Structure 1
Amino acid sequence: MTEFERERRVAADAGTVFRAAADRSTLDRWLPGTVSVHPAEPPGVDVDVAGSTGEPGLLRERRDQLRLEWGRRGSPDYSGWLQVASAEGDTSYATLHLSFHGDDPRNHGGEPAEDVDRQLRESLDRLAALVES
């Protein structure tokens, strides 16, 4: 298993950042990979991170914790979460975490792992732009 994590400061309060991140109509604008959300309870979500199988997954929203969690249905090979925390002033920190299990190429370092790190950074930048615009 390999864990990837990035944090970014955002120029908005934690509640605003979380509401923007959890808005199902904008998930595909900031999450890494290609995302499509389907009506279900809990909501179904297809997450297609580069090189993944694109299997349907679950999305869990924990508003009281300012946390989103997602993963594959019936398979522990991929999961992720976003945690938003308050910072000084009207700013916050957004932490994005992805886990890959098994014999995934991203677990062996090199270019696939570097690509995940880049995707995390770009995703947090897109989330910040979404909130700060």
Structure 2
Amino acid sequence: MTEFERERAMPAPAERVFTVAADVNRLDEWLPGVITVHPAEPEGVDVDVHDPAGEYEAPGVLGARREQLRLEWGRRGSADYSGWLQVSSAEGGSSYATLHLSFHGDQLAAHGGSAADDVERRLDESLDRLANLVSAG
């Protein structure tokens, strides 16, 4: 298993950051790729993620735990990939967002090199976009 994690200070209270991050109509404004959302049962949503390079499409599921300020996701029908976003409060009305990805299968990112570098870059870009969204109001 290979794991990637990044944390970034956010210029807004934790509840606001989580509200923006969990808005299913805005997921593709901060996450990489094109994301199509479908209602799902039990609570949660089905998502289809289209890679920014157009190389693959992956069906997934997304769940929000509002009381914990946490989003969790993974691939539908496969345990080879999962991720989460955790938002926590900080002093002065700001917060921190931690973005974590786990690759459990034999995926390119699990072997290091340029694929792993690309995952790390996308984590940083996603947190930067989320910070820009919450600071824009």
Q: TM-score range by the shorter chain?
A: over 0.9
Q: Alpha carbons of 1:48 and 1:2: their partners in 2 closer, same or farther (altered >3 Å)?
A: farther
Amino acid at match of 1:44: D
Pick the aligned partner of 1:130 from 117, 130, 133. 133
Residue equivalent to 1:82: 85
Question: How far apart, CA to CA, are the structure 1 residues paired with 2:98 and 2:33?
Answer: 17
Question: How far apart, CA to CA, are the structure 1 residues paired with 2:57 and 2:47?
Answer: 10
Divergent runs of 4+, >4 A: 49-53
Task: Confirm or deny: 8 A CA contact 2:30 2:129 kept in the other structure.
Answer: yes
Q: Alpha carbons of 1:100 and 1:33: their partners in 2 closer, same or farther (altered >3 Å)?
A: farther
Which 10-residue stretch deviates more, 34-43 or 62-71?
34-43
Q: Alpha carbons of 1:2 and 1:120: their partners in 2 closer, same or farther (altered >3 Å)?
A: same
Which 10-residue stretch deviates more, 22-31 or 53-62?
53-62
Tell me how large the CA RMSD over aligned residues is: 1.5
The alignment's TM-score, normalised by the length of structure 1, stands at 0.93
SS at match of 2:120: helix
Question: How far apart, CA to CA, are the structure 2 residues paired with 1:56 and 1:98?
Answer: 16
SS at match of 1:76: coil
Question: How far apart, CA to CA, are the structure 2 residues paired with 1:71 and 1:129?
Answer: 25
Residue equivalent to 1:24: 24
Residue equivalent to 2:48: 46
Question: How far apart, CA to CA, are the structure 2 residues paired with 1:48 and 1:79?
Answer: 16
The alignment's TM-score, normalised by the length of structure 2, stands at 0.91
Shift of residue 32, structure 1, vs aligned partner: 2.8
Identical pairs, percent:
65
